[in-house]
């Protein structure tokens, strides 16, 4: 933000308000939350659960039931990344994510000698194996497809592709022909089966822009380009279809309807705390970390990072975050051995903050068992961060 005439505290509190982090939407359904606040990034960690709990007080059972009922689903979408989307956005999410598997196929064709015809034939073989009801594991699909799946040898392994099967599955997912089902119904573990599907794929860059600025405004063109992955020309054309105005003194854009509401918005004097994943939409919709960080906190060392790395200079938080009215006011992680949240706070802990930590701790302990940041996160891998956070509190 350049020379902003808007106080940073107001912008942060507004973003938190639009993200339903002010405690006013408890009990909303998962699909309702995601439609209003944005798609939830999922990388095999606890982020979707933590985000839905913080916004609407939803327990894991309610979220898993919505996944099972296809009210929400994890799909490849913006930038080809996986997000948890509401059903109303399935078609759009798949449409804006379609370029990623095409790019992977092009790279495999160039570097591994894989032809489109080979992959299309494999897609046909896979489609003949799958049903809508009984998920098949990748191993079962590979066995059933037989010779249609080809090993790619050492060259493929170096590129993260041991066989041609992932290329076919990726194409079929973005075409809405198959979907990936978590074997235990949970979003925070990465073991999947596949079933056939018949999901339309449609939507435009302009539709994504409309969704984005309803979730994230005020936001800049740069912010939208980050989220969408669109080239500059595509992003500019997409937002040209919207009636956006510029927030005075900034490069941030907002619709006239929201601009009027934003103008009259005031920062509550009452704290509103939430414990979120580091990849929560409050941060990741813009991926502009300094906007959520007070100057006094920007120089704080990153827990367990090499010397010289400061929190305010990172692209993304390296831990989970504690927020208050949009400002990041602490780091946290979950210690599975002690079954407790370990945190480093930038502000004094009042009764409301202690209660928020206690409620989130109980949610993680009793319903999730852990709060992994991503699929490869583990208690062992985060032990150094937990130790550093504890040491900072001593």
> Three-class SS of residue 273?
strand
CB 184 within 8 A of CB 60: no
> Is the pLDDT assigned to residue 1 strictly greater than 80?
no
Q: Given the structure tokens 């299309």, which residue do they identify?
A: 120
Residue with tokens 């598997």: 101
Q: Pairing state of beta strands 273-276 and 253-254?
A: unpaired
Return the pLDDT at 298.
94
Q: At 206, phi and psi to the nearest 5? A: -65, -35
Which residue, among 19, 27, 44, 35, has the nearest Cα to 276 in the 3D structure? 19
Q: What is the mean pLDDT of residues 213-239?
A: 97
Instruction: Determine which of 104-118, 146-160, 208-222, 302-316 has the lowest per-residue pLDDT on average.
Output: 302-316
Q: pLDDT tens digits for 323-341?
A: 999 999 999 999 999 999 9
The rounded distance, in Å, linking the Cα atoms of 20 and 285 is 14
Strand-pair partners of 301: 310
pLDDT over 50 (residue 296)? yes
Task: Kindly tell me if the per-residue pLDDT of 66 is higher than 50.
Answer: yes
Average pLDDT over residues 186-195: 93
State mean pLDDT over 211-236: 97
pLDDT score at 393: 78
pLDDT value at residue 94 = 98
Asked if residues 130 and 194 have their Cβ atoms less than 8 Å apart, the reply is yes
What percent of the chain stands above pLDDT 70? 99
Both tokens assigned to 69: 């009922």
Is residue 280 a contact partner of residue 47, using CB atoms and an 8 Å limit?
yes
Q: Is the dihedral of CA 91, 71, 280, 241 positive or negative?
A: positive
Number of CB atoms found within 10 A of residue 186's CB: 18
Average pLDDT for 258-284: 97
pLDDT at 4: 62
List, in sequence order, every residue forming a beta bridge with 276; answer none if it has no partner: 321
**pLDDT of 2 higher than 80:** no
The answer to whether 356 touches 274, Cβ cutoff 8 Å, is yes
State the pTM of this model.
0.95
Per-domain residue ranges for the chain? Answer: 99-174, 273-393
Q: Which two tokens stand for residue 360?
A: 């989130």
- pLDDT for 55 equals 98
DSSP state of 80: G
Instruction: Retrieve residue 130's tokens.
Output: 């799958």
Q: Cis before residue 282, ω within 30 degrees of 0?
A: no
In angstroms, the CA 99 to CA 84 distance is 19
């Amino acid at each position: 933000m350049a020379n902003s005439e808007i106080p940073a505290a107001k912008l942060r509190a507004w973003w938190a308000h639009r993200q339903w982090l002010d405690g006013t939407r408890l009990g909303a359904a998962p699909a309702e939350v995601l439609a209003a606040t944005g798609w939830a990034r999922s990388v095999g960690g606890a982020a979707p659960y933590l985000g839905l709990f913080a916004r609407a007080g939803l327990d894991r059972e309610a979220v898993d039931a919505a996944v099972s009922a296809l009210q929400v689903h994890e799909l490849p979408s913006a930038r080809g990344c996986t997000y948890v989307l509401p059903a109303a956005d399935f078609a759009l999410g798949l449409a804006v994510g379609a370029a990623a598997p095409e790019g992977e196929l092009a790279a495999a064709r160039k570097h591994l000698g894989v032809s489109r015809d080979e992959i299309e034939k494999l897609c046909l073989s896979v489609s003949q194996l799958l049903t809508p009801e009984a998920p098949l594991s990748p191993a079962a699909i590979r066995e059933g497809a037989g010779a249609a799946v080809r090993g790619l040898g050492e060259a493929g392994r170096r590129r993260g592709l041991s066989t041609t099967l992932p290329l076919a599955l990726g194409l079929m997912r973005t075409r809405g022909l198959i979907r990936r089902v978590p074997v235990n119904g949970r979003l925070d573990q990465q073991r999947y089966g596949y079933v056939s599907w018949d999901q339309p794929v449609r939507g435009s860059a302009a539709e994504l822009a409309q969704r984005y600025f309803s979730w994230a405004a005020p936001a800049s063109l740069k912010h939208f380009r980050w989220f969408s992955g669109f080239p500059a020309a595509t992003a500019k054309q997409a937002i040209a279809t919207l009636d956006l105005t510029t927030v005075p003194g900034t490069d941030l854009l907002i619709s006239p309807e929201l601009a009027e509401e934003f103008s009259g918005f005031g920062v509550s004097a009452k704290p509103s705390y939430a414990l979120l994943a580091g990849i929560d939409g409050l941060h990741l919709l813009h991926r502009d970390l300094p906007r959520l960080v007070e100057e006094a906190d920007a120089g704080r060392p990153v827990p367990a990072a090499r010397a010289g790395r400061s929190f305010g200079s990172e692209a993304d938080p390296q831990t989970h975050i504690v927020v208050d009215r949009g400002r990041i006011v602490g780091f946290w992680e979950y210690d599975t051995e002690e079954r407790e949240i370990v945190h480093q706070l930038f502000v004094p802990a009042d009764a409301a903050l202690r209660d928020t930590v206690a409620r989130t701790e109980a949610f993680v302990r009793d319903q999730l068992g852990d709060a992994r940041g991503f699929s490869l996160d583990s208690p062992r891998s985060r032990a150094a961060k937990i130790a550093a956070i504890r040491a900072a509190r001593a």
